[in-house]
Amino acid sequence: MNKDLILVESPSKAKTINKYVGKSYIVEATVGHIRNLPKTKLGIDIENGFEPNLVNIRGKGDVIKKIKSLAGKSNKIFIATDPDREGEAIAQDVVDILTDAQKTKIERVLFNEITKKAVNEALKNTIKIDEHLVTSQRARRVMDRIIGYQVSPFLWYAVIEAYGSSLSAGRVQSVALRLICEREEAIDSFIPTEHWSIVAVFTTDKGQEIRAKFSEVDGKQIKIPPKPQMSETDWEEFFKTNFAITSKDLADKILSAIKAKQEFKISDLTKKESKRNPFPPFITSSLQVEASKKLRFRPRRTMMLAQQLYEGVDLGAEGTTGLISYMRTDSTRLSEEVVADARTYIKEKYGDLYLPDGPKSYEQKNKKNVQDAHEAIRPTSLKYTPEFVKEFLDEAQFKLYELIWKRFIACQMESARMETTTVTISAEEYIFKSSGTTMLFDGFMTIYDEDTDDTNDQNGNGGLIPAGLEVNQKMKLEELIPNQHFTKPPPRFTESTLIKELESNGIGRPSTYAMIMGTIMDRKYVDQVERKLVPTDLGKKVNAILVKNFSNIFNVNFTAQMEEELDSIAEGEIGYLKVLNDFYTPFAKTLKEVEANLVKIKCEKCGSDMEIRMGRFGKFLACSNYPECKNIKSLKEFSANGGAPEETGDICPKCGSKTVYREGKFGRFIGCEKYPDCDFTKIVTLGLKCPKCNDGEVITRKTKRGRLFYGCNRYPDCDFASWTYPKPKEEEEEATVASGEEF
């Protein structure tokens, strides 16, 4: 008896689904994409409607052969690749490799979650492949290939001394790099402005203490001064309604004037109640942002763990089941059924006070988004509480699942209520204010609070306000505390804040954020220093070249416009050809202008231009006059130092030759230029004693995944390791290693 065939993308997903559907089905994995554009050529017929030339991916021959064989023997073929644009394209690729007879058996299946109920219901409610989604993915792929293929060689020429750095340009990654570099430029050019604040300590006649901040003088608000580069007119306008303490002398004068006052009293006392609403359930970007902030997970790691939770985890007697819904989504929508389950859970677990009168909805109004057909990221069943599944998950999986669980439950809970009390203390024209917030009802915050920052500060805000205060009550001035400040430059991006920036500008999509972060670091365009993204010299140089020559292409507005048009294709509102023409017309014009000014390397044999080409072993230079001239050269010959290692300036103590810097499995080291004839090596230290053993020296090392960290050169005798640059011994704080990655 012939069986039905179910095709999914990953083997682990296939394994989970196989347990749900029984012996009448065969579940097979495509292991990702099976067709793609060719590696060694553009693969797009630009003159013929941007027709892509998709070919079977090298190494997928056995998978394709097996799919064809199983398809020929099956009654029905259910294509159950992921429910997004990439999954739809893979589904179409499967169709394209099958015969006409086999195509008649095909039905499309969408699994928003991998549970027995969801899988079997989906198999009963099949659909057709969405040709608009497929076309949108093809357009995105073509657009990215054209940019990468035609701009990257220009970068190889322009930065040829950086050979070996895998230079590339990308439609979205280059904009992300530009944002990082522009932020760095703003930091470098920032001019700090001095300003002072004054905090007063008052006591009541009962000895109750209040800290209040100097906030007003002569009816003018105390403000941080604007940029020092402002014109006199702008300064005059600022000082009409504001006042800034810009020097110690001015601060001292104000302190003396305040101390001379004879009476301080409460001139105003207000109480205001406010609500804090719960956060919406996670979408892909917000999950990556929160996992980065709360769990210190990189976006790539977050998505890997989410994929595992979605595809299925062995829960012992419960069997293998998917714990969360599909993790690549822009939608905050939730099904009525799961919201009803959440409300029942909240009532039973927390009581009626925490249950709103009705369900909370977070559906985006007027937001065009091709993936709104999916739900938000949520648990598949409220049976699987974090406590229930903890023993079956590793530490990282559990942390992420618990975060998703709490966010989902919290989104259906009652709002928190706070009361803010503001006290105004006056001495004639000098006004001080202090505010304190009291929690009246914690609501959803009993299990989830996105804001982890401490709201208390030393400037008279966020502290406790004593009870029993009254207007006109006299206060005693105990102390005046002047504080010097300097305005700060804009902060560097972290991975989470960069994702927020990209999302707010309409750049990138759920499936791309983790890849963008990984690409700009894998290419060594950006380093991560104490979780901040810092452009490398190479990254700055690449960005400068792209901005100078392709500013109209690699910018926020153009990239966001292209994203909108790609989404419009998926919605069936606009055609493939129009979008590609809208992109390619300005791009081709810019590329032509750039190439006209590009100094090409000439073939010494025939005088033709040498072109950078891609071969089996990487990039190389070949004569454009091929096949008449078959001259080829290594790119190393044209690097800044001919491909030679960087010299240290020292002499090898073993043989007297020069020593050079080299890259090894565990990072940078010093070796002899005569290697392998001379095997002298020396570890590159940072000139800092190990803070743990105080005997060895700190060196830079790499994890198995290539991440840099600091360790002791006496390892394994000393196991000191830190992600951050270690401080001197007297300042050292114990460093901890991020969970889940071994040194």
CA dihedral for 10, 12, 13, 17, sign (positive or negative): positive
Peptide bond into 716 cis (omega under 30): yes
3-state secondary structure of 503: helix
Do 667 and 653 touch, CB atoms closer than 8 A?
Answer: no
d(CA 531, CA 31): 33
Contact between 691 and 727 (Cβ < 8 Å): yes
Question: Tokens 């565990």 appear where?
Answer: 666
**DSSP of 584-620:** HHHHHHHHHHHHHT--PPBPTTT-PBEEEEEETTEEE
Please, are residues 651 and 660 in contact by the beta-carbon 8 Å criterion?
no
166: left (phi over 0), alpha (psi -120 to 50) or beta: left
- Point out which residues pair with 210 in neighbouring strands: 202
d(CA 299, CA 633) in angstroms, rounded, equals 39
CA–CA gap between residue 19 and residue 26 (Å, rounded): 11
Structure tokens at 558: 């153009």
User: Is residue 352 a contact partner of residue 415, using CB atoms and an 8 Å limit?
Assistant: no
DSSP state of 643: T
Structure tokens belonging to residue 21:
């559907």
Q: Is 430 a catalytic site residue?
A: no
Structure tokens at 480: 């005046």
**Diameter of the chain by CA atoms?**
100
Q: d(Cα 717, Cα 697) in Å, to the nearest integer?
A: 12
Q: Count CB atoms within 10 A of the CB of residue 651.
A: 12
**Residue 377 DSSP symbol:** B
φ, ψ of residue 180 to 5 degrees: the values are -65, -45
Q: Which helix (H) or strand (E) segment is 311 a member of?
A: helix 299-311
Type and span of the H or E element at 543: helix 537-550
Could you say which of 157, 310, 326, 430 is catalytic? 326
Q: What values do phi and psi take at 265, rounded to 5?
A: -145, 160
With a CB cutoff of 8 Å and minimum separation 6, the contacts of 623 are 603, 605, 606, 608, 609, 610, 611, 629, 630, 631, 632
Which residue do the tokens 């690549």 mark? 328
How open is the CA angle 372-375-378, to the nearest 5 degrees? Answer: 150
Q: Is the separation of the CB atoms in 400 and 302 below 8 Å?
A: yes
Go through the chain and tell me how many residues it has.
743
The SS3 call for residue 413 is coil
Cβ neighbourhood burial of 717 (10 Å; 0-12, 13-18, 19+) = exposed
Task: Give the three-class secondary structure for 733.
Answer: coil
Query: In sequence order, which residues have a C-beta less than 8 Å from that of residue 150 and are 6 or more positions away?
Result: 42, 591
| 3-state secondary structure at position 42 | coil
What is the SS3 assignment for 127? strand
Positions marked catalytic? 326
